Structure 1
Amino acid sequence: MQPTDDFDPVRVAKSLLRRRREGALATLMRDGGAPYCSLVNVASAPDGSPLLLISRLAVHTQNLLTDPRVSLMLDERAPGDPLQGARIMLMGEAVAVAAAELPALRSRYLAAHSGAEAYIDFKDFSLFRIVTSGAHLVAGFGRIVDLAASDYLTDLAGAEALLEIEAAAVAHMNADHLITLNSYATRLLGGDEAEWRCTGVDPEGLDLQAGPSVLRLTFPERVKNPAELRHMLKRMADIARATS
């Protein structure tokens, strides 16, 4: 089945990766290989790869430590018939986050799931990244397409300087620019008035969250360093102020 002309599967896939905070994780039972599905909380790495904080006591963790092959389904949770909303099934392997990446990805996960602060340092809990090899996207009738990982993951090449200051940039925005963040959410993205906070920045956009609600501010151009980020955030703020 081919997608219709007004359907942008890459945009929909990237939006789901950045906005969903829970998903259905499928693993293979370590005894016999039967399918096993469980509900997990999800955050995203700077490139959009899903991040999971899971306990070795859980069946799904025991399964993937034996066989890392997994699939993860993220869905739109649209009102009405759930089959009318978009959903994406990611295929790949669950890999423990390397020590060098742990501080940055730990911060990203906690920004998305602040309640995990109470148990993230328990000895049985670890952060895993799903290294995806492809995805199957379904977004309604005539909107079904298979995607390569390069279609929906964010290219981080050349953006090392931006990634180095991401945590500081997020903290600064949340400390000093909450009014601007709220303006992004309400005037540019159609969100309700709320205490919107920034949970992550990457070359393609800014993630905003207020309670269970998550929005994605996509930049019109890619940014690679702190100077370009400052310019882009000011540009988006000017656009928001000009929007009634």
Structure 2
Amino acid sequence: MKEPSSTLRETDDEARKLARTLLRSARYAALAVLDAETGFPFASRVLLGTDIDGVPVILVSALSTHTKALATDARASLLTGEPGKGDPLAYPRLTTQCRAEQVERDTPLHARIRARFLGRHAKAALYIDFPDFRFFRLIPQWASLNGGFGRAYVLDGSDLVIHSLANDDIAEKADAAVQDLIVRHPDLLSKLTLRLKASEAGPWRICGVDSAGFDMISGDLLVRCEFDTPAEDLDHICSNISKIAYLIP
């Protein structure tokens, strides 16, 4: 953990929520590794997903420089956060320093991550099962949040991870529970689109659920909604989603 300095603000729940949203709402990120041959930093762009515990996940080819680098040195850094119009430095961004862990094929963990990744990146189905492609979980160690000018924070890696005993059960049953919720409430997605002020582009669908929130996607657009308090089980998740959809703005 880095020593705080006078330029840093005290990390509060608002900063933690912003950091989690920046990380979990990103469909891609800048990945920096240490080049295995030169030792120099090497940055590239990668597609980004999240596991059920909020840990960021990447799908990479064994032929790429960054994959070879991670095989030699597991340390990596992710930059997430998108600029808009005007000064790009006025927009929040998050640098997350991680340790990469390769996900073994033909395991329940691989199957879970594969399904969640395709929910967010449908076009990855074209190559996701190629023999040279593999997943890495990037375990957050600490993070630096810049929320805009004068808003700098340091976060512990645990601030970005979802700590819940229900993670495995949610991962196994979430898709079915969400589909059942939509069947019982046919206008749910349209209500959520309005509540979350999503773009008019559509149709929108829920592409990922965990105990801390859920993701909605439409084409290349993704919106992350964090719950006020983490859900304890699937019923609590469905209840939270319904409340968000049907509460009066």
TM-score (norm 2): 0.88
Once residues 23 and 11 of structure 2 are traced to their aligned partners in structure 1, the CA distance between those partners, rounded to angstroms, is: 22
Once residues 142 and 104 of structure 1 are traced to their aligned partners in structure 2, the CA distance between those partners, rounded to angstroms, is: 39
Aligned to 1:37: 43
1:190 aligns with 2:194: no
Secondary structure, aligned partner of 2:175: helix
Return closer, same or farther for 1:69/1:200 CA change in 2, 3 Å cut-off. same
The equivalent position to 1:115 in structure 2, one of 123, 138, 150, is 123
Secondary structure, aligned partner of 2:96: strand
Q: Describe the superposition over 1:26-66 as per-residue Cα deviations: whole angstroms up to 9, x where unpaired.
A: 11111131111111111111222111010001111111111
Once residues 228 and 172 of structure 1 are traced to their aligned partners in structure 2, the CA distance between those partners, rounded to angstroms, is: 14
Secondary structure, aligned partner of 2:9: coil
Letter in 2 for 1:221: T
Gaps of 5+ in 2: 1-6
Letter in 1 for 2:35: M
Secondary structure, aligned partner of 2:85: coil
Letter in 1 for 2:72: T
Once residues 211 and 35 of structure 1 are traced to their aligned partners in structure 2, the CA distance between those partners, rounded to angstroms, is: 32
Once residues 67 and 185 of structure 2 are traced to their aligned partners in structure 1, the CA distance between those partners, rounded to angstroms, is: 39
The equivalent position to 2:240 in structure 1, one of 218, 226, 232, is 232
TM-score (norm 1): 0.89
1:11 aligns with 2:17: yes
> Aligned-residue CA RMSD in angstroms?
2.2
Letter in 2 for 1:16: L
Once residues 80 and 94 of structure 1 are traced to their aligned partners in structure 2, the CA distance between those partners, rounded to angstroms, is: 34
The answer to whether the Cα contact below 8 Å between 1:88 and 1:137 also exists between their aligned partners in 2 is yes
The equivalent position to 1:127 in structure 2, one of 117, 122, 135, is 135
The answer to whether the Cα contact below 8 Å between 2:21 and 2:226 also exists between their aligned partners in 1 is no
User: For 1:1-244, what aligned pairs fall within 5 Å after superposition?
Assistant: 1-3=7-9, 8-98=14-104, 99-172=107-180, 179-186=187-194, 188-193=195-200, 194-239=202-247, 242-243=248-249
Return closer, same or farther for 1:133/1:114 CA change in 2, 3 Å cut-off. same
Once residues 14 and 224 of structure 1 are traced to their aligned partners in structure 2, the CA distance between those partners, rounded to angstroms, is: 18
Identity of aligned residues (%): 32
Secondary structure, aligned partner of 1:110: helix
Deviation of residue 206 (structure 1)?
1.2
Once residues 143 and 178 of structure 1 are traced to their aligned partners in structure 2, the CA distance between those partners, rounded to angstroms, is: 41
